[in-house]
């Protein structure tokens, strides 16, 4: 069942989401050549815990870190490591989930370390475009397949592929709830969306083949052909007239890179 959240529940999710964005900013702010992925993870964990929240990925099915950091051909679920230093031209995906008072927020972006190659730059911008377009479909009366199809069409029309094996998801009092949200599929199919449903939309695009492999660490998902991949995610509330983006704000500190997402900013009540 896909649950519809009350205003009180949305407020808690908005607070969790605000901390997600703060943690993403903390990681973004130290991102430069030479930094380790473990250092990014430390910044995320510190930021989340200092705000009285819990990093939702830490310990999730045994995941050993507060954040997933996925570099270049790593699509999602990369494990931060002291041995992995970032280099100029790498692209790094940072994914953060936060629990606040039993409610969750989840968001991710991918960005270059220093300057990206033009082809990588185009892939990054297309990934963000697909997320923005998908968010516009989070309206009451639409079908879930309208979101999936928008992502697939946005990617494939530019010559990219979408991941088949991993999906977006409902979110709320669980990190992962119904429904599963594939990044592909026909429009006009699937459950009808209702205002107050909360969805983590997360396009994953690659320049090459869509097939992926999970590494021996049982987490890191890589493209099978080694081509680079990107991942963007927002936690979104389905709206009657317009969607609300709960994790809004990470575009602001990457203003040179990505423009503000569609969707009115959600106002967090004092908690
Ligand atoms: Mg997610």
- What residues are neighbours of ligand 1 (ion), with CB under 5 Å? 106, 200
- What tokens appear for 15 in the block? 């607070």
What is the mean pLDDT of the segment spanning 111-132?
Answer: 90
Tell how far the Cα of 96 is from the centroid of ligand 1, in angstroms: 8
CA angle 57, 59, 63 (to 5 degrees): 70
pLDDT in tens, 134-167: 999 999 999 999 999 999 999 999 999 999 999 9
For residues 30 and 230, what is the distance between their CA atoms, to the nearest angstrom?
20
Whether residue 177 is predicted with pLDDT greater than 60 in this model: the reply is yes
Tell how far the Cα of 86 is from the centroid of ligand 1, in angstroms: 23
Q: For 112, left (φ over 0), alpha (ψ -120 to 50), or beta?
A: beta
CATH for 7-263, options being 3.50.50.60, 3.40.47.10, 3.40.30.10, 3.90.230.10: 3.90.230.10
pLDDT at 118 (0 to 100): 87
CA angle 135, 267, 257 (to 5 degrees): 50
pLDDT at 117 (0 to 100): 85
**Residue 66: which of 4, 23, 30 has the closest Cα?**
23
Tell how far the Cα of 17 is from the centroid of ligand 1, in angstroms: 12
For residues 214 and 245, what is the distance between their CA atoms, to the nearest angstrom?
30
- What tokens appear for 24 in the block? 């993403």
For residues 137 and 70, what is the distance between their CA atoms, to the nearest angstrom?
27
Look up residue 60 and give its DSSP letter.
G
- What tokens appear for 86 in the block? 């970032």
pTM for the structure as a whole? 0.94
Whether residue 265 is predicted with pLDDT greater than 70 in this model: the reply is no
**Residue 263: which of 151, 168, 125, 131 has the closest Cα?**
131
Share of the chain above pLDDT 70, in %: 94
Report domain extents, the chain: 7-263
Kindly give, in sequence order, each residue whose CB lies less than 8 Å from that of residue 19, ignoring residues fewer than 6 positions away. 47, 48, 51, 53, 98, 100, 105
Q: How confident is the model at residue 36 (pLDDT cuts 50, 70, 90)?
A: very high
Kindly give, in sequence order, each residue whose CB lies less than 8 Å from that of residue 172, ignoring residues fewer than 6 positions away. 3, 5, 9, 13, 103, 104, 198
Tell how far the Cα of 234 is from the centroid of ligand 1, in angstroms: 8
Write down the mean pLDDT value for the chain.
93
pLDDT in tens, 222-235: 999 999 999 999 99
Kindly give, in sequence order, each residue whose CB lies less than 8 Å from that of residue 50, ignoring residues fewer than 6 positions away. none
- What tokens appear for 176 in the block? 């992962």
């Amino acid at each position: 069942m896909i649950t519809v959240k009350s205003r009180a529940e949305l407020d808690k999710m908005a607070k969790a989401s605000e901390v997600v964005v703060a943690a993403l900013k903390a990681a973004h702010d130290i991102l430069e050549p030479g930094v380790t992925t473990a250092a990014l993870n430390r910044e995320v964990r510190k930021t989340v815990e200092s705000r009285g929240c819990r990093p939702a990925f830490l310990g999730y099915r045994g995941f050993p870190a507060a954040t997933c950091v996925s570099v270049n051909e790593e699509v999602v679920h990369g494990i931060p490591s002291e041995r992995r230093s970032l280099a100029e031209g790498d692209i790094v995906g940072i994914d953060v989930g936060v629990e606040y008072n039993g409610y969750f927020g989840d968001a991710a972006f991918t960005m270059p370390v220093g300057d990206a190659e033009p082809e990588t730059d185009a892939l990054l911008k297309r990934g963000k475009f697909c997320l923005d377009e998908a968010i516009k479909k989070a309206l009451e009366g639409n079908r879930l397949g309208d979101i999936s199809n928008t992502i697939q069409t946005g990617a494939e029309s530019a010559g990219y592929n979408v991941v088949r094996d991993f999906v977006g998801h409902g979110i709320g009092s669980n990190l992962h709830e119904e429904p599963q949200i594939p990044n592909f599929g026909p429009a006009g199919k699937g459950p009808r969306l209702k205002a107050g449903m909360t969805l983590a939309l997360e396009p994953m695009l690659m320049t090459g083949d869509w097939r992926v492999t999970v590494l021996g660490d049982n987490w890191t998902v890589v493209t099978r052909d080694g081509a680079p991949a990107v991942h963007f995610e927002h936690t979104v509330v389905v709206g009657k007239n317009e969607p609300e983006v709960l994790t809004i704000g990470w575009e602001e500190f990457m203003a040179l890179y990505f423009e503000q997402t569609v969707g009115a900013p959600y106002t967090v009540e004092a908690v």
